[in-house]
Amino acid sequence: MRRLLFLVILCLLALPTACDFPSPSAKGGKDGDAAVREDFKQWLRDAIKEDPAMIMDVLAANNETVFHIVDEGFRVAQGKALMAQRLAQLEQGAMPRLGGGRPSMGPDNATITVVEFSDFQCPYCSQAARTLELLQLKYADNMRVFFKHMPLSSHEHAQTAAAFFEAAALQDEAKAWELYHRYFQGQDRIKDGGVEWLLEQAREVGLDVDTLNQDASSTKVLTRIKEDVEDAQRFGLQGTPSFIINGVTVSGALSLEEFSELVEFVLQNDPRLQAKQ
């Protein structure tokens, strides 16, 4: 009896519309199926009411199976909630501030805009930067990337590196991106080399270091970094790296596959893109 009860419970949990047990009195078709299901639901209620301890015994004896069913249900519910959240974000299409000549990579008419919030001393940001390069190669004609700053107070030279990048962009945007790659690729040397190492990289890519130093402490550059941090807070971003893709927020060093899936989701569901088709 208890084994039968367990099977019925699993059936109701996992396949609530597919557990059709034949009944001599049941009518054919959908109405009959619904009647059968209601009969078994009532039977289950009566059985538990008669012996409440029965269900606890069954669950205790089969706790691993029940755990897997509940865990799978939780993942499905979580996935649906995330999907709904991302669809709502696409509908709103809110993006951080990108004006004022912000440096970017990719075509101006790109359908996908990726805004990266990062910290030059964050190891996960370095990993994400490499993945983002591959993503750009994959969506070369459809993606534009903006780099915004979220320097963490725990990283001694992150603020300075951010200021040097923005100052470099005022001189030569292409050289600023070259500096970006050098900072991330040589990230393990920033801690020991400090400001001197950061400046040496700027010198090697052909930037005027004296002008760079001057611009890095200018109101324009410092305000830009301050606004980046404010944007991150406005979007509820808690750490680095974080990304906003056509309004959809995501955090962490995602794999290329995960990034690609998110880009495809945006391409298929962004209402502004659908309207252009």
User: 113 has which bridge partners?
Assistant: 144
Which domain-ending residue is among 92, 117, 148? 92
From residue 62, alpha-carbon distances to 7, 9, 13, 68 in Å are 11, 11, 14, 10
Position 99 in a domain: no
- Name the least confident of 53-67, 196-210, 223-237, 249-263: 53-67
pLDDT of residue 92: 94
Q: In this predicted model, what pLDDT tens digit does every residue of 144-164 receive, in sequence order? A: 999 999 999 999 999 999 999
Instruction: Say yes or no: 113 and 234 in one domain.
Output: yes
Is pLDDT at 19 greater than 60 in this prediction?
no
Instruction: Say yes or no: 260 and 145 in one domain.
Output: yes
Which domain-ending residue is among 48, 69, 92? 92
CB 37 within 8 A of CB 19: yes
Instruction: Say yes or no: 115 and 235 in one domain.
Output: yes
Position 194 in a domain: yes
Burial class (CB in 10 A: 0-12, 13-18, 19+), 167: buried
Instruction: Say yes or no: 80 and 56 in one domain.
Output: yes
CB 251 within 8 A of CB 243: yes
Position 222 in a domain: yes
Instruction: Say yes or no: 61 and 139 in one domain.
Output: no
**Total Cβ atoms within 10 A of residue 103:** 18
Instruction: Say yes or no: 143 and 36 in one domain.
Output: no
Give the global pTM: 0.73
Number of compact structural domains in the chain: 2
pLDDT of residue 16: 45
pLDDT of residue 87: 95
pLDDT of residue 74: 62
CA 166/CA 102 separation, integer angstroms:
9
Instruction: Say yes or no: 248 and 205 in one domain.
Output: yes
User: What mean pLDDT comes out for the span 84-89?
Assistant: 94
Domain holding 53, by residue range, is: 2-92
Position 51 in a domain: yes
Instruction: Say yes or no: 46 and 72 in one domain.
Output: yes
Is pLDDT at 262 greater than 50 in this prediction?
yes
From residue 27, alpha-carbon distances to 20, 43, 123, 149 in Å are 12, 18, 65, 66
Instruction: Say yes or no: 87 and 157 in one domain.
Output: no
Tokens representing 170 are 């005022």
State residue 193 phi and psi, 5-degree precision. -80, -25
pLDDT of residue 14: 45
Instruction: Say yes or no: 38 and 148 in one domain.
Output: no
CATH number of domain containing 176: 3.40.30.10
CA 236/CA 213 separation, integer angstroms:
32
CA angle, 229 then 232 then 234, to 5°: 110
Position 233 in a domain: yes
Position 98 in a domain: no
User: 114 has which bridge partners?
Assistant: 145, 245
Position 64 in a domain: yes
Which domain-ending residue is among 38, 62, 92? 92
Instruction: Say yes or no: 121 and 251 in one domain.
Output: yes
Position 97 in a domain: no
Instruction: Say yes or no: 87 and 112 in one domain.
Output: no
